[in-house]
Amino acid sequence: MEKQILDKVKQLVRELYDIEAAGKQLLLQKTLPDFEGDYTVVVFPFTKAVGKPPHVIGEEIGIRLKESMDIIASYNVVKGFLNLSLKNEVWLGVLKRNYDNKDYGLHDIIDEQPVVIEFSSPNTNKPLHLGHVRNNLLGESVARILKAAGKNVKKVNLINDRGIHICKSMLAWQKWGKGESPESSGLKGDQLVGKYYVMFDQELKKEKEKLAKQGVSEDELDNESILMQEAREMLRLWEKRDKEVMQLWSKMNNWVYGGFHETYDRMGISFDKIYYESDTYLEGKKMVLDALDKGILIQKDDGSVWADLRKHNLDEKILLRKDGTSVYMTQDLGTAQLRFRDFDPSEMLYVVGNEQDYHFNVLQIVLREMGYSWAELIKHLSYGMVELPHGKMKSREGTVVDADDLMDEMYDTAKAMTKELGKIDDLQSNEAKNLFNMVSLGALKYFILKVDPKKNMMFKPEESINFNGNTAPFIQYTHARIKSLLRKANCTNLEFEDVDPSFMMDSEREILKKLALYPSAISEAAEEKSPSVIASYSFELVKLYNQFYQDVPVLKEKERSVIDFRLAMSLFVGHVVRSSMTLLGIDVPDKM
RNA sequence: GGUUCUGUAGCUCAACUGGAUAGAGCAGCGGCCUUCUAAGCCGCAGGUUCCAGGUUCGAGUCCUGGCAGAAUCACCA
């Protein structure tokens, strides 16, 4: 429809002024609420070439548009803005064509070549926290949005299951764990392992303090520390596949996976393929050694291997330590290679925090230097940090917001709130549980996803738990209202063919206009890779519907066709609300 | 110090990528349940878009220079 109008404007500009209007000059936008009209053509861009005042041009184009397009009811010109009002029949047509289509706005797969999106990518040395929550929610939602926009999306997770940090928790458990297990302690596996990681850190700190007193310099502390030496030795043994170390490693990792699985399940996160760094780092090592052979990389006297990036205005970057073990970058090279082979993708997205902007920049440059043309497929979907009112999350200061705890708290609040409002009197207990889950998780997800991914966000616990205003519970509530209305109406067969479009009210037209925009909201969200676009859209739609609901008693209307028209519109809104919430990974209840 | 990002109402966030009078929510104040769910609706109040220049018909958005904050510049990941 928008394209139709734009094409016509383009044609008219050509006929009237003999000017070829290019893409950017042709601007069609939604008319602002204070003005009359649905769409607005901005005519300023033509004024110079035409040599007439803007309002005259607007008038000239407007009159011709109205003559030649039967969807246009009227027009008005304010300064350089040509406002067009479409006939009610147009909006009614949108309703007729789509109101019963649950998949309205969603595309089937257009392009078979997959888009691979990596997210979550946890370390197996500690449980998931608030930062991971943003990552997981973004990844899952962006994947759903891209799919809705017609991409063949593959979700992958890269488990960071090896490295010096993993050895730290292993070592601590070996030293001080006394055989403790999830079963014996009653702790979730990831929580248990996390406990030992923290323990290592504390003991290391003590040891370093002692060393410092003995006069060891700041720089030497890591080298001199016995604990660190032991951890490094363990990593070396691990890379040599030492039997005992491997056994400990796989035992503790399995505990962690059990815990992660529970948390993912609860959050509604899933993957098509899981990579383990322990499988991919070797590939990376191989690539590095190959490149070294070809003279692309340099080896220093101590045996360590580096990429020289000084011609890119960056420093040197280590790729293999002097003891031959690999670093983060090394395994990421390998993972990228494997992923490219596995999927032959058109795009490889990495949902990773903006603290790693530098890392991904370097990753791409190194791959490019090594001669891999697919380096260009890598896109870092960088998102901002989650900040807390009292500052950064620091495990040592106990200010880390644990993902499981957070969901528990949200659940309890949802429960208390629901009881206080007296909403569950007619719900079965499992229904009620379901509702608490939906509402609490919805609130959390929406609170995080409504913010533009690339911006840092402030996480205020009291506000995330708020259920009024621009929140998921508000949107869920509207869905429940619609469902309730439809139940009451008991509608099977909606007949509104003969409804008179001229009786359509402003609030109804606004809703239909909004519904017509759902497909473009999806494509914008996919383009920007930003769930926040969908969140705003849903909120605006639901606000419009609530206004309508408040002052138009649907079932009190005399005219049957008008009732059916309104029911069809409500049904349509309900579908789009559910659909858009699904894109955010949020479920909506039929009653609440 | 270098690089990158951010700065919008008391607070948390929008603003269709350069378009009209910068919008929501929360918090505050005032109204609306005999009528389809009040987790709702309506109204009031709240702004030098960090500052100073520049670009043009037009700037929160673009360019330059400041100021403030964050991230990063690891043989951590």
C1' nearest to CA of A382: which nucleotide?
A: B5
Chain B footprint bases within 7 A of protein beta carbons? 4-7, 11-17, 19-21, 24-27, 35-42, 57-58, 70-77
Give the pairing type, strands A457-458 and A386-387. parallel
Tell which residue, A224, A200, A228, A205, has the closest CA to residue A214.
Answer: A224
CB A343 within 8 A of CB A154: yes
Instruction: Name A228's Cβ contacts closer than 8 Å, sequence gap at least 6.
Output: A204, A222
A48: the nucleotide nearest its CA (via C1') is B57
Q: How far is the CA of A45 from the C1' of B53 (A)?
A: 27
Report the distance from CA of residue A548 to the C1' of nucleotide B5 in Å, as an integer: 41
Residue nearest to nucleotide B71 (CA to C1'): A355
End-to-end CA distance of chain A: 37
Q: Is A71 exposed, middle or buried (0-12, 13-18, 19+ CB in 10 A)?
A: middle
CA A421 to chain centre: 32
Residue found under tokens 């998931």: A128
Contacts of A296 (CB under 8 A, 6+ apart): A307, A369, A370, A371
> How many angstroms separate the CA atoms of A325 and A239, rounded?
7
What are φ and ψ of residue A153, in 5° steps? Answer: -95, 135
Quickly give A44 CA vs B58 C1' distance in Å. Answer: 9
Instruction: State how far the Cα of A335 lies from the Cα of A108, in Å rounded to an integer.
Output: 29
Nucleotide nearest to A566 (CA to C1'): B36
Output the pLDDT for position A395: 66
Burial class (CB in 10 A: 0-12, 13-18, 19+), A153: buried
Distance A223 CA to B71 C1' (A): 28
Tell me what pLDDT residue A299 has.
93
SS3 A338: helix
Q: Which nucleotide comes closest to A325 if you measure CA to C1'?
A: B75
**Rounded distance in angstroms from the CA atom of residue A460 to the C1' atom of nucleotide B27:** 14
Q: Which nucleotide is nearest to A392 (CA to C1')?
A: B70
| HEC profile of A394-427 | CHHHCCCCEHHHHHHHHHHHHHHHHHHCCCCCCC
Q: Cα–Cα distance between A464 and A124 in angstroms, integer?
A: 28
Reference A349, options A54, A40, A121; nearest CA is A121
Cβ-proximal residues to A498 (8 Å cutoff; 6+ apart), any chain: A561
ipTM for the complex shown: 0.96
Q: Which residues of chain A carry a pLDDT beneath 70?
A: 395-398, 426
The tens digit of pLDDT for each residue in A418-475 reads 998 888 776 778 889 999 999 999 999 999 999 999 999 999 988 899 999 999 999 9
How long is the CA A567 to C1' B43 vector, in angstroms? 29
Q: What is the pLDDT of residue A397?
A: 66
Between CA A173 and C1' B72 the distance (Å) reads 33
Which nucleotide, over all strands, has the C1' atom closest to the CA of A303? B75
**CA A42 / C1′ B18 distance in Å:** 12
The dihedral built from the CA positions of residue A24, A30, A31 and A33, taken in this order, carries a sign that is negative
Distance A467 CA to B21 C1' (A): 32
Per-residue pLDDT tens digits for A234-255: 999 998 999 999 999 999 999 9
Give A456 CA → B67 C1' in Å.
21
Q: Which residue is nearest to nucleotide B42 (CA to C1')?
A: A547
Pairing of strands A81-86, A72-78: antiparallel
| Distance of alpha carbon A527 from alpha carbon A483, whole angstroms | 32
Whole-number distance in Å between A52 CA and B59 C1': 24
Q: Which pLDDT does position A67 carry in this prediction?
A: 94
pLDDT confidence of residue A349:
96
pLDDT at A216: 86
- Where are the strands (E) in A150-208, listed by range? 151-159
Smallest CA–C1' separation from A542: which nucleotide?
Answer: B40
Nucleotide nearest to A532 (CA to C1'): B14
The span from the CA of A231 to the CA of A177, in Å, is: 16
Residue A306 pLDDT = 94
Query: Which nucleotide is closest to the Cα of A570 by its C1'?
Result: B36
